[in-house]
Structure 1
Amino acid sequence: MKTVGILLAGGMSRRFGSPKAFATWNNQFFYNLSYAALDRVCDDVIIITREELLPLFPKNLSLLIDDHRFSGDGPLAGIFTGMNNIKADQFVVLPCDMPFITSDELKRLMLYRSTGDIKAVKQGEIFHPLVSIWSGSLKEKIYQSLMSKNFSVMQFMSTVSTKWILADQISDNPASVFQNINKPL
């Protein structure tokens, strides 16, 4: 089974004030931390980013910008772009602004048995739809959603078989691990 990691690193970072992908924690860029987690559990990893950020990434990484039809249309467009450019049975999706997620959490999420289209993480009442595993068979449904101007990841997830995995089932310290960083550290 081919597994590809999709690292979403192209958001506008309005609240953050600068590109989150290049924020640092322990002298490492956020995108490096997330990339390392994906790289340990996936056959390939691709980074979806904005065109103006491309020159900031090392040239040896697989980089894509959103499909021109959906440029700037959010994370669902990024997921589609990844699926549309590389074939895989499943895609492990991770945003660059959750840098404390490690390969350990991703491995546990991958091992969690589910027959659904998407496995995603829920921590109490907080949903983390971008810490998830998507079936490669969803590409056409995502395309149709985007063409219909339905860009919400959560809305899309409600139209397919989504299994929510509790964060404490895949992490020993979910409160620390599943932090979405929206302000500089």
Structure 2
Amino acid sequence: MKHSHILLAGGKSSRFGQPKAFKNWNGILLYEWCKQALGGEQTYIVSHPSLVARFQERMEENIIVDLEPFSGKGPLAGIYTAMNLIESDYYTFLPCDTPLVEQRTIELLKREARGFDAVVPIADGRIHPLVSVIHHQAKDVVYKQLLGNQLRAVDLFQLLHTNYLEVECFGSKSWEFINVNVEEDLKELNKHVVQRFNLNDEE
């Protein structure tokens, strides 16, 4: 069973003031933190055309851009683009602004996706639809949502046979899903970076 890993990095980052993917946080770019969470396997990056050269400068090879006519229509466009261009059974998606997600959490979602169209984490009572695993058979549903200009990812998963997984019951932490929207959010990340590496004050 083929499983592909997709990093969503095509947003405008208008609130952040610069492309979030390339923000240096604790010596590593945000998108590189997320690649680590996806593991050592091949990762495809869905990005904006204006950012392709910057990724290539960092020796990234597997870069794709949103298919027309859906360019600029948010994460759902990136999800459809990946599902359309990459042949796979399952697709794991992770946005480039969630650097605290751990690899074991990604593996949990992949494992719990079997038998479902999709699996989406719930942490601290909140759904995180962009950190998801989706089966290839959901592609037509994504396409219809885009055609109808129904762009909220959370609405997509209501149309699918989705496993809403309360990840804290499996040992994951709610802070793994903190995402960066503004510079101030980096301070919140810093509160948890020690926990991210399972360290303690004595180490």
After TM superposition, is the score higher than 0.5?
yes
In the alignment, is the contact (CA less than 8 A) between 2:124 and 2:174 conserved in 1?
no
Match of 1:136 in 2: 136
SS in 2 for 1:72: coil
| Pairs within 5 Å for 1:50-89 | 50-57=48-55, 58-89=58-89
Would the aligned equivalents of 2:6 and 2:94 in 1 still touch at CA under 8 Å?
Answer: yes
Partner of 2:102: 102
**Maintained 8 Å contact 1:91/1:136:** yes
- Number of residue pairs aligned between Structure 1 and Structure 2: 182
TM-score (norm 2): 0.84
Question: In the superposition, relative to structure 1, how do residues 90 and 113 fare at CA in structure 2: closer, same or farther (>3 Å)?
Answer: closer
Instruction: Name the structure 1 match of 2:31.
Output: 31
In structure 1, the gaps of 5 or more residues are none
The answer as to whether partners of 1:109 and 1:170 remain within 8 angstroms in 2 is no
CA distance in structure 2 between the aligned counterparts of 1:95 and 1:170, rounded to whole angstroms: 22
d(CA) in 2 for partners of 1:16, 1:66: 21
For residue 69 of structure 2, give the secondary structure of its aligned residue in structure 1.
helix
Q: Is 1:151 equivalent to 2:164 in the alignment?
A: no
Partner SS for 1:7: strand
Deviates more, 1:46-55 or 1:11-20: 11-20
- The aligned amino acid for 2:93 is V
Q: Secondary structure at the match of 2:168?
A: helix
Identical amino acids, percent of aligned pairs: 32
In 1, the alpha carbon distance for the partners of 2:33 and 2:168 equals: 21
Cα deviation for residue 151 of structure 1 reads 1.4
Cα distance in 2 for residues equivalent to 1:148 and 1:176: 34
Partner of 1:183: 182
SS at match of 2:132: strand
Give the 4+ runs in structure 1 shifted more than 4 A. Answer: none
**Deviations 1:141-174 (CA, angstroms, capped at 9, x unpaired):** 21122112221111111111111111313444x1
- Find the counterpart in structure 2 of residue 49 from structure 1: 47
Q: Is the 8 A contact 2:89 2:136 kept in 1?
A: yes
Secondary structure of the structure 1 residue equivalent to 2:128 = strand
How big is the shift at 1:113? 5.7
The answer (yes or no) to whether the contact 2:113–2:119 under 8 Å persists in 1 is: no
Structure 2: segments with no counterpart, 5+ residues? 187-203
